[in-house]
Structure 1
Amino acid sequence: MPKLLVLGLCAGYFLVLLDVTVVNVALPQINADLQAGQSGMAGVINAYTFVLAALLLAFGAIGDRWGHRRIVVFGFLCFFLGSLACSLSPTIEVLVASRALQGVGAAATMTGTLAMLSESAADDRERNKLVGLWAALGGVALPVGPLLGGLLVELGNWRAAFWLNLPVILVALVPIIVYSSPAWAARLGSGGLARGAGRVESSGSSRMRLLTACIVAGLMNFCVLGSLFLLTQFFQGDRGLSPFQAGLATLPALLPLPFVAALSGTVSNRLGVWRTSAMGLIVAGMGLGLMGLTVSGSGLWGLWIALVVWAIGVGILTPAIVTAAMHALPQRPGFASGAGSTARNLGGAVGVTVFAVLAGMDTGALMAGAGVMMLIAAFICLDMSRRARESQLVPVR
C-alpha cells in the first residue's frame, strides 16, 4: 500500500482526535467573543462529539455498501466545510451548527479510513501494522492538541484553531483521490476481503467476537478518559496548578502513546491480537494501581512514573483491540470499524460522567478500582485468545 495513501488515511484519524482536544483551550476566548455562556461552550464540544458518536456505525455500514473511499472523501469535505464555517462563525449558534457539520465529517472519516486500511492489507500481519500506525499517528493529536491549540490562540485568536484543519485536509485528500482510480480500487478490494471471509465460522461466532472486542474497547475508554478527567481535576484542585500547568503535568500519560502504538502491530503479529490486548490491559492496570498509590504523595515523580507505565499499557492495547474488532468481521470492515469506534466513544462518555459523579471520593481508590477493571478485562481477552487457538479461525500469529 503506498505510503502517501497510508499517511493520508492516518491524517483523518489525527484530525478527528485533534478537534476533540484543540478546541478546549479556545473556549474562554469563544465565550468572551461570542457571549457563549456555559450552555454555548458546552454546545461547542457536544455538537461535535455527539454527532460523531451517533453516526459512526451508520457510516461504517454505508461504506461497506457504497465503498469506503467515497465515504472518506465525503468525510474530508464535510470536515473542511465545517472547519471553514467554524472559523468564520459570527454567532455561537452558527458555531455550534458548524461543529455539528465537523462531527458528520469526523464520523465518516474515522470509520472510512480504518476500513480502507483494513480491507487493503495483504494479510493479517500487514493489517496489524497498518492499524498500529493509524492509532499511533492519531494518538499524536492527544498531546499535541492542547499545546498547539493554546499556541495558536495566543498568537492569533480562537478562529486559528479551526484554520489549522484546512491545509491538513487538502494535503491528505490528494493521495486518497489519486489512489481511488477504478484499477487501484479493484486491487485494494479483492484480496483482503476474500481471505477474511474464509476465516469466519458463522455469523453468530463473528458477532460474539466483535461484541467482546467492543466491550473491552468501551471499558478501555471508560477507564482511560474517566481517569484523565479525575487527574486533571486533581492537578487543578488538590495541587493548585493552572489549566496549562495541569496539561503539562498530564503529558507523561500522553507522550508515550503514539510511540508504543506504532510497535503494537509488531507485537500482535507475534502474540495475536487478544494476547496483545491482555498484555496492554495488564500493564495499564498496573499503572492505574501505581497511580492510586502515588497520587496522594507529596511529590509528582512517583505519579509521573505511574502515568508512563499506564500510557505504555494503553498504547499497546488500543491498536490491538481495534484490530481484534476488524478481524471479527473482515468481510464488513466498515461495520466493524463503526461498532468499535461507537463502543470506545460511548465508553469514554460514560466514564467521564461516572468519574465526575464519584469525584468527591478518594482519588487513589478510584484509580485503583479502574486498574482492577482493566485486569478483569485482561482475563476476558486471554479467554478469547484460548478460544481462537482452539477454533483455529482467527490466526494467533
Structure 2
Amino acid sequence: MAHSPITPLRRAVSPGSRAGSPYTVLVVMCAGYFLVLLDVTIVNVALPAIGSAQGTDVGGLQWVVDGYALALASLMLTSGTAGDRYGHKRVVLTGLAVFGLGSLGCGLAPDVPVLVAARVVQGLGAALLLPGTLAIIGRAFPDSAERARAIGVWAGIGSLALPAGPLLGGALTDGLGWRAIFLVNVPIVLLALVWSAAVVRESRGEHAPPLDLPGLLLGGLTLLATTYAFIEGGRSGAASPGVVAAAAVAVAALAGLAVVELRRGDDTAMIPPSLLRRPAFAVANTAAGVMNLCTLGTLFLLTLFLQSVQHRSALAAGVALLPLFTPLAVFALLGGRITSRIGSRAPAVTGLLVAAAGLALLTRADAHSGPGLLVPAFLLWGIGCGLLTPAVVAAAIAAVPGERSGLASAVNNTARQTGGAIGIAVAGAIAGLPTDPADFLRGFHTVTLGSAVLYTATAVLCTCLLGERSSAGRGNP
C-alpha cells in the first residue's frame, strides 16, 4: 500500500508513537526551551547593526524586540490549554516548526516591516513551545523526585540562555552579521523537530477546558494597542491622533476583557477572576511584571548606550553584560533554594532593593564610565533579579489552591512577558536613539532612576502583602 509523504510525520505525532528515554526527552525539550529564552536577549546587542543596515529609527528597533515579546505574552496562557486539549507533543512540534520558519524569515528579511512580522511568527512559535516543554518533561518523569531533578535541569538550562544571548549575539553579529543571530536557529530547530517527533510520546489533559478565544483576542489587542501608543508616542508625540486612538482602543479592549472573563467564570476564563482577587497572587504577578518592565526596558537602552555612546563592538558589549546576566542565572537557582527555606517575602523584597541599587548606580553612567561603575551596577542588578524571579513565582503558586499551580505559573510568566513588552516601548519613547548622546543619556538616566524608584515601591508592596513563607495562605482567599 502506497504511503503519502506526510505519513511518517503523522505517525510521529500520533498518540501511540513510541517514546524515547526520559533523559533523551529532557535533552530535546531543554534545547527548545533554551532557544526560546535565547531569543529574548540575543537580539539586543545586534540592534545598532540592524538599525544601521535597515535605516530605521528607535521605533523600528522597538518593534523588532517587541514583535517577539508581544506574541509570546499574548499566546502564553492559551497555548498551555491548547496542549492539554489537543496534545502537548502536537503543540510543541507546531511551535518548533513555527519558530524555525520565523527565524528563517528574520534572517532573510529585506526590510524592517518584514523583520518585525517574522519576529511575531517567532514569538508565536515560542509561545506554543514554552509551556509544552515543561508539561512533556513532567509526563516523562512520573517519579516525583526524578521529576523535580529534571525540572531543575530544565530551569538551569534556561538560565544559561541569559548570559549566552548577549555573548553569542555579539560574536555572531561581529563575525557574520546580524542575520546570523536568527539563521543559527534553523538547523537547531530542524534537529529538535525530528528528534522530538521520534522520542516524545503524546499526552493531553483529561478534562481540558475549551480555549478562551475572546479572552485571547481582547488580551492581545490590549497589549498591542498599549505598546503601539507608547512607541508611536515617542515618535510623534502623545497628543497625535494615532496615539490617542491606540490608547482608546487599549482601554476599550481591557474593559471588554474584564467583562468577558467575569462572564466566563473560573472554569473557562483564561485568567480566573477569583485568583486576581487574592492579594498575594496579585502582588506577586505585579512584581513579576515590574521586574521585566524595568529590566528589559533598561536593557534595550543599555545595549544602545554601550555601542553607540561608548563605541564598543557588539561582542565587547555582550562581554560587558556578563556581570549582569551571569549572577542573574546563578542566583535564580540559589534563590529557589533560599525561597524554599525562608519563604518568598524576604528574597523578593531583598531582590527588589538590591536591583534598585544597581539601577540607581547607572544614573551616573556616561560615555567614559568604565568597569569601576558598570560592573558593580550590573552585579547588583543581576543578583537582585536572580533573587526576585523564583520568589515571585513561588509566591504566585503558594497563593492559589494546589490544583491551580500550573495556571498560576503561566500567569506569572505572562505577567513578566507583558511587563517586558511595555517596558521596551516606554524606555524607547523616553530616550529615543543616541544620535544626540547628551539627550539620549538624559533619557537613559530618567529610565534607570524611574526603574529604581518603581522597584523600591514594589518592595514596599511586597512587604505588606506577601506572606512570610512561600507556603503561607495556599488555597486561602
Q: TM-score range by the shorter chain?
A: 0.7 to 0.9
User: What residue number does 2:408 align with?
Assistant: 336
The yes-or-no answer on 1:376 pairing with 2:447 is: no
Among 375, 381, 390, the residue aligned to 1:310: 381
Instruction: Letter of the 2:32 partner, please give it.
Output: G
Deviation readout 1:244-263 (Å, 9 max, x if unpaired) = 54443333112222222222
The 1:71–1:90 alpha-carbon spacing in structure 2 relative to 1, beyond 3 Å, is: same
The one-letter code of the counterpart of 2:466 is M
For residues 67-146 of structure 1, the aligned pairs below 5 Å read 67-87=87-107, 95-116=115-136, 133-146=153-166
The residue identity in structure 1 corresponding to 2:133 is: T
Moved more, 298-307 or 165-174: 165-174
For CA contacts below 8 A with separation 6 or more, give which structure has more relative contact order: 1
Write the letter of the residue equivalent to 2:334: L
Structure 1 pair 26–384 and aligned structure 2 pair: CA distance change class (3 A): closer
SS at match of 1:149: helix
Q: Distance in 2 between the 1:154 and 1:233 partners?
A: 15
Q: Cα–Cα, structure 1 residues 158 and 284, in superposed 2: closer, same or farther, change >3 Å?
A: closer
**Alignment match of 2:467 (pick from 382, 385, 394):** 385
The 1:125–1:279 alpha-carbon spacing in structure 2 relative to 1, beyond 3 Å, is farther
Contact 1:288 1:368 in 2 (8 A): yes
Residue 77 of structure 2, aligned match among 57, 71, 77: 57
RMSD of aligned residue pairs (Cα, Å): 4.2
User: Which of 406, 422, 425 is the aligned partner of 1:353?
Assistant: 425
C-alpha displacement at 1:304, in angstroms? 0.9
The 1:189/1:2 distance shift into structure 2, 3 A limit, reads: farther
Q: Does residue 315 of structure 2 align to residue 295 of structure 1?
A: no
| Secondary structure, aligned partner of 1:146 | helix
In structure 2, list runs of 5 or more residues that go unmatched: 1-20, 208-271, 432-438
The alpha-carbon deviation at position 373 of structure 1 amounts to: 2.5
1:250 equivalenced with 2:332 (yes/no): no
CA separation in 1, counterparts of 2:147 and 2:453?
Answer: 31
Note closer, same or farther for the CA distance 1:109–1:332 as it changes in structure 2 (3 Å cut).
farther
TM-score when normalising by structure 1: 0.75
Query: What percent of counterpart residues are identical?
Result: 41
Kept in 1: contact 2:342–2:470 (CA 8 A): no
2:361 and 2:52 map into 1 onto residues whose CA distance is: 40
- Which letter does structure 2 place at the counterpart of 1:341? N
What residue ranges of structure 1 are gaps of 5+ in the alignment? Answer: 191-201
Deviations 1:269-291 (A, max 9, x none): 21234443333223323333444
| Closer, same or farther: CA 160–203 of 1 in aligned 2, 3 Å | closer
Partners in 2 of 1:218 and 1:352 — Cα distance? 12
For residue 215 of structure 1, report the CA deviation from its aligned partner: 1.0
Contact 2:70 2:421 in 1 (8 A): no
Give the C-alpha shift of residue 78 in structure 1: 1.6
- Is 1:219 aligned to residue 301 of structure 2? no
Q: 1:85 to 1:388 in 2, by over 3 A?
A: closer
Describe the shift of the 1:303–1:87 C-alpha distance in structure 2 as closer, same or farther (beyond 3 A): closer
Letter aligned with residue 380 of structure 1: L
**What are the within-5 Å matches in structure 2 for residues 10-25 of structure 1?**
10-24=30-44
> Hey, what does 1:266 align to over in structure 2?
337
CA contact (8 A) 1:60 1:337 kept: no
Q: Quick one: distance in 2 between partners of 1:222 and 1:32? A: 26
Give the count of matched residue pairs.
378
Q: Cα distance 1:171–1:273, how it changes in 2: closer, same or farther (>3 A)?
A: farther
